[in-house]
Each structure stands twice: as C-alpha cells, then as structure tokens.
Amino acid sequence: MSALVVVGSQWGDEGKGKITDYLAQESDVVVRSQGGNNAGHTITFGGEKFALRSIPSGIFNPKIKNVMANGMVINPKQMLEELHGLEERGIKDYQLFVSNRAHIVLPYHELLDGAYEQFKGDKKIGTTKRGIGPAYADKANRIGIRIADLIDPEAFKNALKATLTIKNMELKMLGMDPLDFDTIYKEYVEYGKKIKPFVCDTSLLLEEEIEKGSKILFEGAQGVMLCLDHGTYPYVTSSSPTGASVPLNSGIAPRYINNVLGICKAYTTRVGEGPFPTEIDGELATYIRERGHEYGTVTKRPRRVGWLDCVALNYARRVSGINYLSLMLFDVLSGLKEIKICYEYKLDGKTIKTMPATLEELQRVEPQYITMPGWDEDITKVTSFDELPVNAQNYIRKIEELTKSEVVIFSVGPDRLQTIRLKDFFK
Ligand code: IMP
C-alpha cells in the first residue's frame, strides 16, 4: 500500500483539486478527510471545467473509490446537488463512499455562521458562510448530528429534536426566527434516503484497501495556514488541513502517512480577512490576479495577492510534514521583470524565521525579500524542466533551497496536460 497526502501549504486555493485529479489517475482510492463544501476544487480536462466542493476529486474515474471520511462535515442537500450536477454533465459511473461517522451541516449552521460574522463586525473571519464553523462547534459540543443518524429516520428524529431545541434558543438569542422541526425533518429525511446507498464505515473500507496494497490519495482541503491549530488563528477554518490530521479524520493508523505533497502557488493568495505579510497591491497585484484568475471558486470574491512567502511555507512544511512540493500557476509569473521571494521576517529589528503566534506580531513583521530576475517567455507549453527559461529554473531551485523540499511537480496551466512531473514519488 502506498499513501500520499496532498495538502494546501498556503491559505487554500493552491490548486489541490488539479493535482489530486492528476494523481487520481494512478490511485485506487481518493479520500477527503476534513472540511466540507467550503472547499472549491477546480478541475479542467478535455476542455471542460468542473468545480467540486465536497465530493472527492477522483469522482471522474469510474475505477477509483472516492471516500468522504469521518472528519468531514457534509451538507446533505449541497452534496446531492453536486452529485446531480455531475450526473447531468455525464459523470454517472462513479464509486462514492460516505462515512457513517461524518457530521452533517444543517440550515441552522449556515444561519449561525452568517450571524456570528455579522456580530463580529470588523473582526469578522470572512468565512464562506457554509456553516462549517458552527457544525464543527456542535461536533465538539457533542450536539452534532451524524450521517448514521440522518439515514435512520427514528434516530434522526430524536437527534434533531434534541439539537434543534438548543439551536432555536441560540437563533432567538441572536435575534433570528426559530426553525420549524417538521420542515427540516421532512426535507432531510429524504436526503438521508438518497445518501444511504453510499454510506458505510469508511475506516473499515480503508483498512481493506491498505491490506490489498492499494494506492491511496488523501485530498486535503483549505491550506495549512487555515488550520485550526497551526494557522493564523482566529482567521482560520474549523478543521485541520495538515498531514497530521489525516489518520484521525479518516480512521487509519498514523504509520501509513509517510509522504506529504505540499501544493503551493508560485506566489501567494488569500481570501477573507487576516494578516498576509507579503501582500502586494496596485498594478502588480492586478496583473497576477487577472492572469491567475484569482477569484473564489465558491464565493467569487477577488483573492488578495502577494509574493511567495517561504517563512510561511517552511512553517507549513514543519507542522504538516511536507517532503515534496508541487509548484502551481507558474505560468502566471511570466512577463514580470523581477520576482520577489520572502526568505525571513524582521520583527522589532530582530530576524525571525518562523511564523509568530499572535496576529499582532504577524501584522507587524517586515518580510525580507530576495529579488530574482523574471522571464518573458510564455511557458504554458513547456513539457520539461529543461525547456523552462533559465530564470524560471533558478526560481524553482531557490524555492527548494529555502524550503528544504524537493519540487516534484510544476504546473503551467489549468489542463491536466499542463502538469510537469519531475519525479515519480507516488509509488
Ligand atoms: P470557513 O471555513 O467557511 O469557516 O472560513 C474560514 C476561513 O477559511 C475564511 O477565511 C475562508 O475564506 C477560508 N476558507 C475556507 N475554505 C477555503 C478554501 O477551500 N479555500 C480558501 N479559503 C478557504
């Protein structure tokens, strides 16, 4: 058996969907183990573009088993809409397995997500308003409802009754109307019936696959900087997108996780609020944003843009066990005279080489840059490292030096074919 974890090594939107789809071609199983429909994974092949949100990226290949594991929070309505959308576009032959232990997102979670954001005012997180934080909070509070409950009408009735009483008090306290039990129950019990055929103990399924010697790809969502534990708290999501969270969130032993591929853009982007040391603005930011189509897949918000931050990348490498890197959207940088890479920060005159824990400090750090000469050539048709302009080759080598990680893939466009692999690391 061979397991590879794909993690976003920045603030999400690094192109994990594309790489997972690419590596899925040679995998037997693709697993999503955390997050929910806050993710937006764009996959382009055969001239078609798909935006996945909670469904794993191996769904396009009928031979691959796709697992939505216990660590996810699944919105049943959205998940079924997503499946329906795929089926309408001809993706009908797929294998999907949903964990009976995954938690579900219900309408009150979305309402509460919106309300908390509103009440936080200028301290708002800038969430996707998909109810992800409130659903994970209920899980931790032990009032969450799981897929196993949803597919059993009696269990669902009891769980929803108990939880809705509390949630309605919360909604009222925040000045919102309470939700009607019957309406939610009737609607969601039907979703439960539709989801039931996909439901199983996915930890057991993964154990069987491990015993068979299958190749398993764990598809991370969001990015390490958005990790609840290691990210730029509180401007983070409510789960852990690190390699370390994979065993817990999928029910496999940690000893199976020995390769972690960090996906990083050739620059940095971030959506939502929170500190972003290498952020740039003006014409340069617009140039990168437009060339990289840097607008949210889910929310369409323009993304904030900045230079590659190797302090953040090194931090992600450490807390997430990254040993390989995949450099994405490399073609976007063509045409820039100079390209900067942040290699350390200065804080109050002192040099620091890791991410400070507080937002206040992170807001005050001064990124220190190496300036490298850019290149003018269009690199979208390049098929090997040697075909890259020398300055682009040097950029890759500098990243490897600064992050102590090997760049094993670089990507020069959205299509599967525009993915250049430098090493066979998923054996
Ligand atoms: P939430 O996950 O919706 O609670 O949002 C919390 C933070 O994570 C916000 O800054 C979101 O913009 C960010 N976020 C959540 N999911 C993604 C993602 O898939 N890509 C990029 N940012 C994300």
Q: Which residue would you say has higher pLDDT here, 259 or 296?
A: 259
Confidence of residue 246 (pLDDT cuts 50, 70, 90): very high
Residue with tokens 């299958």: 214
267: tokens are 């620059």
CA distances for 113 relative to 156, 170, 303, angstroms: 22, 12, 21
Q: Where in the chain is the domain with CATH 3.40.440.10?
A: 2-98+199-259
Long-range pairs of 406-410 with CB within 8 A, sequence gap ≥ 24: 406/323, 406/324, 406/325, 407/324, 407/325, 407/326, 407/327, 408/261, 408/324, 408/325, 408/326, 409/19, 409/22, 409/261, 409/325, 409/326, 409/327, 410/326, 410/327, 410/328, 410/330, 410/385
How far is it, in rounded angstroms, from Cα 182 to Cα 23?
Answer: 44
State residue 296's pLDDT score.
83
Q: 86-98: per-residue pLDDT in tens?
A: 999 999 999 999 9
Which of 6, 7, 38, 298 for mutating ligand 1's site (highest number of atoms within 8 Å of CB)? 38
Model confidence over 54-79: pLDDT tens digits? 999 999 999 999 999 999 999 999 99
Task: Please give the CATH architecture assigned to the domain spanning 264-421.
Answer: Alpha-Beta Complex (3.90)
> Alpha-carbon distance 191 to 184, whole Å?
11
Structure tokens at 385: 């490292």
Question: What integer pLDDT is reported at residue 13 of this predicted model?
Answer: 87
Q: Ligand 1 within 6 A of 109 CB?
A: no
User: Which superfamily does 2-98+199-259 belong to?
Assistant: Adenylosuccinate Synthetase, subunit A, domain 1 (3.40.440.10)
Q: Is 84 one of the catalytic residues?
A: no
**Residues 64 and 24: beta-carbon distance below 8 Å:** yes
* pTM score, whole prediction: 0.92
Q: Does the beta carbon of 220 lie inside 6 Å of ligand 1?
A: no
Q: Does 44 score more than 90 pLDDT?
A: no
Q: Please list the residues that pair with 295 across neighbouring strands.
A: 302
271 DSSP 8-state letter: -
What letter represents residue 330's amino acid?
F
For the chain, where do the domains classified as CATH 1.10.300.10 start and end? 103-195
At which residue do the structure tokens 């995949």 appear? 326
Confidence (pLDDT) at 228: 97
- What kind of fold does domain 103-195 have according to CATH? Adenylosuccinate Synthetase, subunit A; domain 2 (1.10.300)
230 is catalytic: no
Domain with CATH 3.90.170.10 in the chain: 264-421
